[in-house]
Amino acid sequence: MEKIVTVSREIAASPNEVWDLITNLPNMGRWSPENDGGKWVKGSSGPELGAKFSGENSWEGKSWKAPVTITEFDAPRRFAFEMRFPFMGGSDWSFDLEPTSEGCKVTQTWVDRRRKALVVIGGKVSGVPDRASHTRMSMETTLEKLAGEVSK
């Protein structure tokens, strides 16, 4: 069964300022407790529709890489990407930005599209048995740290 986790936060910064930060995937490790950044791959050199990225992740001494493809790039409103492993599925990630009187509201969504094999293997590789609750914590931390950085 598909699981969806959504977290929102008001951030005292313009949608354009937040957009520039969240689309810079190599720097995501500055805010995320699990993602350590990564690098653009397969001819990609920055964020754009179809760009490929190899995410580097770690949690409690375990590390792994995740192949990512940008699937939506509608500046400065919606940024989405998918993480997929052949034959095992993966997950979809998105950031939606809405202007507010104080800056913007950022909504981050994760959709679990893992098949059973990836659930089992992923739990062992990452050391995270309950991916949905862990992902919620990670998303809340990411948005909190992002908000703290732009409000300095």
Query: Any idea which residue has 């957009």 for tokens?
Result: 19
3-class secondary-structure state, position 129:
coil
pLDDT digits (tens, 9 = 90+) for 10-62: 999 999 999 999 999 999 999 999 999 999 999 999 999 999 999 999 999 99
- In this prediction, residue 151 carries a pLDDT of 80
| 114 φ, ψ (degrees, to nearest 5) | -75, 140
The secondary element (H helix, E strand) that includes residue 136 is helix 131-150
The structural domains of the chain, with segments of one domain joined by +, span: 3-150
Model confidence at 152, pLDDT cuts 50, 70, 90, reads low
- In this prediction, residue 2 carries a pLDDT of 80
3-class secondary-structure state, position 86:
coil
Tell me yes or no: is domain 3-150 CATH 3.30.530.20.
yes
Half-sphere exposure of 48 (CA within 13 A, CB side): 5
pLDDT digits (tens, 9 = 90+) for 53-87: 999 999 999 999 999 999 999 999 999 999 999 99
pLDDT digits (tens, 9 = 90+) for 92-137: 999 999 999 999 999 999 999 999 999 999 999 999 999 999 999 9
pTM: 0.95
